[in-house]
Amino acid sequence: MQTSFTLTQLADPQNYASEKILRACVHCGFCTATCPTYLLLGDELDSPRGRIYLIKEMLEQDQPATKEVVKHIDRCLSCLACMTTCPSGVHYMHLVDHAREHIEKTYKRPLFDRALRSLLARVLPNLALFRLAIVMGLIAKPIAPLFQILGLKRMAAMLRLTPNHKPAPPVDRIGKVYPAQGAPRGRVALLSGCINPVLAPSTNEAAIRLLNRNGIEVVVAAGEACCGSLVHHMGREDQALSQARNNIDAWTREIEGQGLDAILITVSGCGTTIKDYGFMLRADPAYAVKAARISALARDVSEYLATIELQAGEAPMRLTVAYHSACSLQHGQQVTHEPKDLLLKFGFVVKDVPEGHLCCGSAGTYNILQPALAGKLRDRKIANIERLAPDVIAAGNIGCITQIAAGTAVPVVHTVELLDWAAGGPVPEALAKRLVEAAE
């Protein structure tokens, strides 16, 4: 693709990186075949190729984002299936992230849209506020249909996504060390995060047990908090970089103290962003080197577990597992076979979900901000999953787990919970309920 940026424009690191990405695109259109929004809408501007044209024009002309551009960029899930498909190696993720930042700085959204986005950016990364929001959502959930009727579709979507149970009681793991059992074989940091401790603390609990059982000491670094992923994909780059720097400092203290073999993440959406810290902070003289070091150490929990010799385990029941490969894991991190190999090793029957490359519609805050498209993608995903008649669904991302669980009675759990259960840990809570119901 030909570009016409000025030398002054190219002096900006963001424009310089985006110009290189744009030049890599050869207009082949392979990306349209795997883009969920193009599949649903059939609009070229809702495909990666179409969005690339819109971004190119906006950045080259150094124009404020228009309503039309914002509409099509907002509809992008950042599922990154296009990057897996692209034969030219176009780094669409960095390009659309730049576009979102430009939109946030130059476009004035309608009042309600601004208010909702500000609310999400304030509440979701804050454990106390998010816990309160879940409690309030649980109380208000029965009136979600009323919000839908009144046209408040995003509010209705938030309520429908609220789990049908109270949030787990707060457990402060920050700054805690979980010692290895037996001879120590390694030391890792585990991201506690912001969503998991409220919606699914059992995920990190299972990861800690499994790692400790296999001789790995686990630390949740003092000062660690939200990774910045949620606001990063909303274009709020200053907030995202501030959160990234905070975690880089926390993990750097551990590296320079007792050392770390890896930084493990059980939420693949967070993992994709943390692995990108080096790029995000490449122009920051105080953090560029530290950020690159952190990104080099970042691993999805399944990715790390696949590299160590695990103690033998066997699933208490030979269950059929439908493995949902989160977009951020398969497309964002190129981690595809490790979770399935681990489940097979521990005695589960693993089935791939048809159209597994397509997003479930979660995509961070997408299922709130674009509820109609997210709902169609969720329904399509669940139909493909239920066709397999699985006993349980496994996934590596809390967003996917919440999204899919809102539309099916099949229990949805994190992959590491099944592995921990097979290795002697407790049965995952969502699965336990189903097993009790089946026994009755």
CA distance 336 to 326: 9
**Average pLDDT for the chain:** 94
What residues have CB less than 8 Å from 136, skipping those under 6 apart?
none
Taking CA 263 as the corner, what is the angle to CA 257 and CA 264, rounded to the nearest 5 degrees? 145
Confidence (pLDDT) at 439 = 59
pTM, 2 dp:
0.93
Chain segment 210-267, per-residue pLDDT in tens: 999 999 999 999 999 999 999 999 999 999 999 999 999 999 999 999 999 999 999 9
In this model, does residue 436 exceed pLDDT 80? no
List the single range of 140-149, 205-214, 335-344 with lowest mean pLDDT: 140-149
CB 305 within 8 A of CB 419: yes
Chain segment 365-413, per-residue pLDDT in tens: 999 999 999 999 999 999 999 999 999 999 999 999 999 999 999 999 9
Confidence (pLDDT) at 438 = 62
Confidence (pLDDT) at 317 = 85
In this model, does residue 170 exceed pLDDT 80? no
Single out the residue of 119, 103, 121 nearest to residue 111, CA to CA: 119
CA distance 385 to 407: 11
Chain segment 264-299, per-residue pLDDT in tens: 999 999 999 999 999 999 999 999 999 999 999 999
Confidence (pLDDT) at 36 = 96
Indicate the pLDDT class of residue 315, thresholds 50, 70 and 90.
confident
Single out the residue of 241, 304, 299, 249 nearest to residue 275, CA to CA: 299
Chain segment 72-93, per-residue pLDDT in tens: 999 999 999 999 999 999 999 9
In this model, does residue 325 exceed pLDDT 60? yes
